[in-house]
């Protein structure tokens, strides 16, 4: 009889979340018990995305027994969910016990619990989402790719970072920043696509007024972009579908045309965050995590390139507690958006005894809590300590899927003293629970300016002028 694996209480407990049960601890304990059972069974998960690119993840489960079915299914379902949002893809092949494959196929069907994920991925890759079953030896072979990013510093450039609560822009001349600005906006609630176009053009024109000419424009934006076309993006959630297809899909192509068809590149904001880190650290194997209105992720591999993966960490489950908060978009529990964002601050504030003004936006509420922190408010400090605990366990979970040497933390939530508290608490978690990771990994917090506008500056270097 194989014992059922239980959710593990963290040794470094978040001050404001006693229910937190890290995914990293569950997986570690699950695999330990699987191997100690003496009846470990291999299973492979292959996920195909665009252009035939395929990622493969291999692991083990308990041999099929009535008392292990539930635990096996839970482990693999959470793993598939994680792999989908890190790698991206429209077809899953499960190579292993048939009962697990059938369970995943049901969960990711139009009427299954993970219908949102299946529909989302199908729309991104413009193919019907599919789950296929195979033997472990017959799963597809991995086929990975990579994309080389910018580092172009010549000429007069503009970098724009389209966050969900603020937009940042920088003007750069031969690698030197001559102007930068951060403006609060609220794009998610806007139904008129012209709002987005006008706001972006206003920022670009202002930056352009500080340089003699504009040779190229680089844009960092939350969402998924293919050939500068918008596929899916939370920035445009308020736009009706018909208007999205008519005016949003080619929004950045229209902006490029307005600037005389100069070189323009749009890249997922998480990848730009990691790219900014690679430029500042001058190293590789970097996981960038941006804590803003939501959570953005990006990764620079050992060659200094991006992988073409989605890196949508906002949807990756980091908390397996049955009481974990529910993500408003996907309807799933324990996903990163509720733990590494300004929404996390807003969610934790009542537990810290802080009363927020419901008439304010989430960005304004975050700023209020940060002001309290600067005044020595202990409740505010516990909020950022809690997020720091989340971060330490989250990084440990991400390390199962990324080869990480550096973690770069940026975004509005890391501004001020809160960023240092998050970093210190995350380091404490790694040293306490995952000493082997702490020994080979560094967590970085850029200076205040780079934390706020670093992505805009990095974005400016994306396009090649020639």
Domain boundaries, the chain: 39-138, 156-269, 271-457
Mention the CATH class of domain 39-138: alpha beta
Token readout for 49 is: 């995305």
Q: How many CA atoms lie within 13 A of 452 on its CB side?
A: 11
pLDDT (0 to 100) of residue 342: 95
Q: What pLDDT digit, counting tens, does each position of 104-113 carry?
A: 999 999 999 9
- 3-state SS assignment for residue 169: strand
pLDDT (0 to 100) of residue 450: 57
Residues ≥6 apart with Cβ < 8 Å to 435: none
Sheet holding 295-300, edge to edge: 295-300, 286-291, 406-410, 442-444
Q: Please report where in the chains the tokens 């060659």 appear, as a residue.
A: 303
Q: Does 271-457 match 39-138 at the fold level?
A: no
Closest CA to 339 of 23, 6, 110, 45: 23
Strand 295-300 to 286-291 pairing: antiparallel
Please answer whether residues 95 and 46 qualify as being in contact, where contact means their C-beta atoms are separated by less than 8 angstroms.
yes
**Mean pLDDT of residues grouped by 10 in the chain (466 residues)?**
71 98 97 94 96 97 90 97 97 96 97 96 93 97 89 92 86 93 88 95 97 96 87 88 93 97 91 82 91 90 92 96 93 97 97 97 94 98 98 98 94 94 98 98 79 72 88
Q: Which long-range contacts (CB under 8 A, 24 or more apart) does 205-209 make?
A: 206/169, 206/179, 206/181, 207/158, 207/160, 207/169, 207/170, 207/171, 207/179, 207/181, 208/158, 208/171
Q: How many CA atoms lie within 13 A of 65 on its CB side?
A: 14
How far apart, in whole angstroms, are the C-alpha atoms of residue 272 and residue 457? 10
pLDDT (0 to 100) of residue 452: 52
Sheet holding 54-62, edge to edge: 54-62, 40-48, 91-95, 130-134
Q: Which helix (H) or strand (E) holds 275?
A: helix 269-281
How far apart, in whole angstroms, are the C-alpha atoms of residue 234 and residue 163? 10
pLDDT (0 to 100) of residue 449: 52
pLDDT (0 to 100) of residue 2: 40
Sheet holding 166-173, edge to edge: 176-184, 166-173, 156-162, 216-221, 264-268
pLDDT (0 to 100) of residue 333: 96
pLDDT (0 to 100) of residue 454: 65
- 3-state SS assignment for residue 194: helix
Token readout for 45 is: 């998960």
Strands (DSSP E) found in 285-414: 286-291, 295-300, 406-410
Please answer whether residues 356 and 313 qualify as being in contact, where contact means their C-beta atoms are separated by less than 8 angstroms.
no
pLDDT (0 to 100) of residue 320: 97
> Which CATH number is correct for 156-269, 3.40.50.150, 3.40.50.11540, 3.30.420.40, 3.80.10.10?
3.30.420.40
Alpha helices in 1-50 (DSSP H): 23-36
Q: State the distance between the two ends of the chain, measured CA to CA, in whole angstroms.
A: 66
State pTM to two decimals: 0.89
Does domain 271-457 fall under CATH 3.30.420.40? My reply is yes
How far apart, in whole angstroms, are the C-alpha atoms of residue 440 and residue 443? 10
How far apart, in whole angstroms, are the C-alpha atoms of residue 150 and residue 305? 10
Please answer whether residues 81 and 334 qualify as being in contact, where contact means their C-beta atoms are separated by less than 8 angstroms.
no
pLDDT (0 to 100) of residue 338: 97
Other C-beta atoms closer than 10 Å to the C-beta of 18 total 12
Radius of gyration in angstroms for the set of CA atoms belonging to the chain, rounded to a whole number:
22
């Amino acid at each position: 009889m194989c014992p059922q694996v239980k959710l593990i209480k963290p040794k470094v407990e978040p001050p404001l979340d006693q229910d937190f049960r890290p995914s990293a601890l569950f997986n570690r304990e699950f695999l330990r018990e699987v191997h100690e059972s003496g009846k470990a069974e291999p299973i492979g998960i292959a996920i195909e995305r665009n252009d035939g690119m395929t990622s493969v993840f291999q692991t083990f489960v308990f041999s099929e027994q009535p008392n292990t079915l539930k635990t096996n299914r839970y482990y693999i379902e959470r793993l598939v969910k994680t792999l989908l949002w890190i790698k991206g893809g429209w077809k899953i092949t499960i190579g292993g016990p048939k009962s697990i494959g059938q369970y995943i196929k049901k969960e990711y069907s139009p009427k299954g619990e993970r219908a949102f994920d299946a529909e989302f991925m199908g729309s991104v890759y413009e193919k019907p989402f599919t789950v296929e079953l195979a033997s472990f030896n017959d799963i597809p072979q991995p086929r990975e790719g990579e994309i080389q990013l910018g580092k172009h510093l010549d000429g007069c450039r503009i970098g724009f970072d389209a966050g969900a609560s603020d937009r940042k822009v920088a003007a750069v001349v031969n690698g030197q920043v001559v102007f930068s600005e951060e403006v609060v906006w609220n794009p998610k609630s806007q139904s008129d696509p012209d709002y987005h176009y006008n706001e972006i053009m206003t920022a670009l024109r202002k930056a352009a007024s500080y340089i003699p000419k504009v040779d190229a424009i680089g844009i960092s934006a939350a969402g998924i972009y293919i050939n500068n076309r918008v596929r899916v993006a939370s920035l445009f959630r308020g736009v009706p579908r018909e208007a999205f297809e008519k005016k949003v899909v080619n929004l950045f192509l229209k902006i490029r045309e307005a600037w005389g068809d100069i070189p323009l590149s749009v890249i997922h904001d998480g990848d730009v965050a990691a790219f900014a880190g690679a430029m500042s650290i001058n190293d590789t194997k970097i996981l960038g995590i941006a804590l803003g209105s939501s959570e953005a992720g990006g990764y620079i591999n050992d060659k200094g390139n991006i992988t073409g993966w989605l890196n949508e960490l906002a949807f990756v489950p980091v908390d397996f507690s049955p009481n974990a908060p529910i993500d408003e978009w996907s309807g799933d529990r324990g996903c990163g958006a509720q733990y590494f964002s300004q929404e996390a601050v807003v969610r934790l504030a009542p537990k810290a005894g802080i009363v927020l003004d419901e008439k304010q936006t989430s960005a304004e509420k975050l700023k209020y809590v940060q002001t309290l922190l600067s005044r020595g408010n202990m409740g505010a400090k516990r909020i950022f300590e809690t997020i720091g605990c989340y971060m330490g366990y989250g990084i440990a979970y991400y390390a199962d899927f990324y080869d990480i040497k550096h973690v770069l933390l940026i975004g509005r939530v890391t501004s001020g003293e809160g960023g240092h508290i998050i970093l210190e608490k995350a380091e404490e978690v790694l040293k306490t629970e995952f000493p082997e990771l702490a020994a080979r990994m560094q967590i970085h917090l850029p200076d205040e300016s780079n934390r706020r506008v670093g992505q805009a500056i990095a974005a400016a270097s994306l396009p090649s002028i020639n």
